[in-house]
Structure 1
Amino acid sequence: MKFRIAILLIVLLALPQTLDAQCAMCRAVVESEADGKTAEGINNGIVYLMAIPYILVAGLFYFIYKKMRN
């Protein structure tokens, strides 16, 4: 398991330009828009993608808490 993590870390550190490519593309799209609707849509998408895992984990912990109380 430690070997896989080490390999993944080496690959991610060796290819930083590839990792930044999407951020530059999104920034270019947002900066080219004049009305700001695209930026608002991207921000809403980020919040949506960020919130769903937290809600699922909170629901799981609540379910475990209820089962342990009974």
Structure 2
Amino acid sequence: MKKTILLLVLIFIVSIPAEAQCAMCRAVLESEEGQSTAEGVNNGIIYLMAIPYLLVGGIGYFIYRKFSKNKVK
């Protein structure tokens, strides 16, 4: 169990600096000076991508915990 949690944390940490722009967004944002807007768009995309995974993982964890408590009794 500890190995699984460690693996999930490492995968999450490694995926943070990913750039996830579509081709159209990239073309528009590369023409801008400063690149601050491009960085903001990248961070927003990563945020929107990570939240569903965290929610599903949390729900799965609580379901697992509920069923494992019932087996111990």
Using the size of structure 1 for normalisation, the TM-score is: 0.61
Specify the SS of the correspondent of 1:46: helix
Aligned length: 49
Extract unaligned runs of 5+ from structure 1.
1-22
Specify the SS of the correspondent of 2:29: helix
**Structure 2 counterpart of 1:50, which letter?**
M
Per the alignment, residue 38 of structure 1 pairs with 37
Runs of 4+ more than 2 Å apart? none
Give the share of equivalent positions with the same residue, in percent. 69
Per the alignment, residue 29 of structure 1 pairs with 28
Q: Distance in 2 between matches of 1:63 and 1:25?
A: 40
Per the alignment, residue 62 of structure 2 pairs with 63
Deviations 1:23-69 (A, max 9, x none): 44312321121101011011101110110011001101111011101
Q: Which has the higher contact order (CA 8 A, sep 6+)?
A: 2
Structure possessing the higher radius of gyration over alpha carbons: 1
**Structure 2 counterpart of 1:53, which letter?**
P
Flag the structure with higher helix content: 1
